[in-house]
Amino acid sequence: MNIQNYINGKFTPPFSNEWIDNYCPADGKVYGQIPNSSKADVENAYTAAKLAFPDWSKTTLETRSRILIKISELLEANLQRFAEAESKDNGKPINLAKTVDIPRAASNFRFFGNAITQFASESHESVGHNAINYTLRQPIGVVGCISPWNLPLYLFTWKIAPAIAAGNCVVAKPSEVTPITAYLLGEICTEAGLPNGVLNIVHGLGTTTGQAIVEHPDIKAISFTGGTATGAHIAKVAAPMFKKLSLELGGKNPNIIFADCDYNDMLETTVRSSFANQGQICLCGSRIFVEAPIYEKFKTDFVEKVKQLKVGHPSKEDTNIGALVSKPHLEKVMQYINIAKQENGTILYGGHKITIADYENGYYLEPTIIEVPTDECRVNQEEIFGPVVTIMPFNTEAEVLQIANKVKYGLSATLWTNDLKRTMRMSNKLQSGIVWVNTWMLRDLRTPFGGVKDSGMGREGGFEALRFFTEAKNVCIKY
Q: For residues 94 and 317, is the Cβ–Cβ distance under 8 A? A: yes
Q: Quick check: 211 binds ligand TXE (CB under 6 A)?
A: yes
| Binds ligand TXE (CB under 6 A): choice among 173, 216, 220, 299 | 173
Of 105-113, 172-180, 262-270, 345-353, the segment contacting ligand TXE by CB under 6 A is: 172-180
Q: Quick check: 225 binds ligand TXE (CB under 6 A)?
A: yes
Min separation Cβ 198 and ligand TXE, Å: 21
Residues 384-443 that bind ligand TXE (CB under 6 A): 385
Residues 6+ apart with CB under 8 A from 113: 64, 65, 66, 67, 68, 69, 72, 161, 165
Q: Quick check: 35 binds ligand TXE (CB under 6 A)?
A: no
Number of residues that bind ligand TXE (CB under 6 A): 24
Strands 470-478 and 131-139: antiparallel
Q: Quick check: 335 binds ligand TXE (CB under 6 A)?
A: no
Q: For residues 273 and 255, is the Cβ–Cβ distance under 8 A? A: yes
Of 39-47, 127-135, 222-230, 254-262, the segment contacting ligand TXE by CB under 6 A is: 222-230
Q: How many Cβ atoms from other residues are within 10 Å of residue 210's Cβ?
A: 25
Whole-Å CA distances, 146 to 142, 184, 217: 13, 17, 16
Residues 6+ apart with CB under 8 A from 47: none
Asked about 248 being catalytic, the answer comes back as yes
Q: Cα angle vertex 29, ends 28, 35, to 5°?
A: 110
Min separation Cβ 398 and ligand TXE, Å: 29
From the candidates 86, 176, 248, 371, give the one annotated as an active-site residue: 248
Whole-Å CA distances, 31 to 155, 276, 353: 23, 25, 23
Between 26 and 411, name the residue whose CB sits nearer to ligand TXE: 411
DSSP codes of every residue in 40-100: HHHHHHHHHHHHHHHHHHHS-HHHHHHHHHHHHHHHHHTHHHHHHHHHHHH---HHHIIII
* Amino acid in position 6: Y
Q: For residues 281 and 150, is the Cβ–Cβ distance under 8 A? A: yes
Between 101 and 291, name the residue whose CB sits nearer to ligand TXE: 101
| CA gap 90, 71 in Å, rounded | 22
Q: Quick check: 146 binds ligand TXE (CB under 6 A)?
A: yes
Min separation Cβ 461 and ligand TXE, Å: 14
Q: Quick check: 92 binds ligand TXE (CB under 6 A)?
A: no
Q: Quick check: 383 binds ligand TXE (CB under 6 A)?
A: yes
Q: Quick check: 233 binds ligand TXE (CB under 6 A)?
A: yes
| Binds ligand TXE (CB under 6 A): choice among 249, 284, 311, 324 | 249
Using DSSP's 3-state secondary structure scheme, residue 136 falls into strand
Between 319 and 455, name the residue whose CB sits nearer to ligand TXE: 455
Whole-Å CA distances, 243 to 38, 141, 191, 215, 276: 21, 12, 32, 10, 35
Q: Quick check: 323 binds ligand TXE (CB under 6 A)?
A: no
| Binds ligand TXE (CB under 6 A): choice among 9, 13, 28, 227 | 227
Residue nearest to ligand TXE (CB): 206
Q: Quick check: 149 binds ligand TXE (CB under 6 A)?
A: yes
| Binds ligand TXE (CB under 6 A): choice among 89, 101, 176, 366 | 176
Q: What are phi and psi of 419, to 5 degrees?
A: -90, 110
Of 93-101, 103-111, 142-150, 294-302, the segment contacting ligand TXE by CB under 6 A is: 142-150
String of contacts with ligand TXE for each residue 177-206, x by CB under 6 A? -----------------------------x
Q: Quick check: 286 binds ligand TXE (CB under 6 A)?
A: no
226: left (phi over 0), alpha (psi -120 to 50) or beta: left
| Binds ligand TXE (CB under 6 A): choice among 26, 34, 83, 234 | 234
Q: Residue 165: enclosing H or E segment and its boundaries?
A: helix 152-165
Candidates 178, 228, 176; CA nearest to 205 is: 176
Q: Quick check: 380 binds ligand TXE (CB under 6 A)?
A: no
Burial environment of residue 158 by CB neighbours within 10 A (0 to 12, 13 to 18, 19 or more) = buried
Question: Catalytic residue numbers?
Answer: 248
Q: Where does this chain bind ligand TXE (CB under 6 A)? A: 146-150, 173, 175-176, 206-207, 210-211, 214, 225-227, 230, 233-234, 249-250, 282, 383, 385
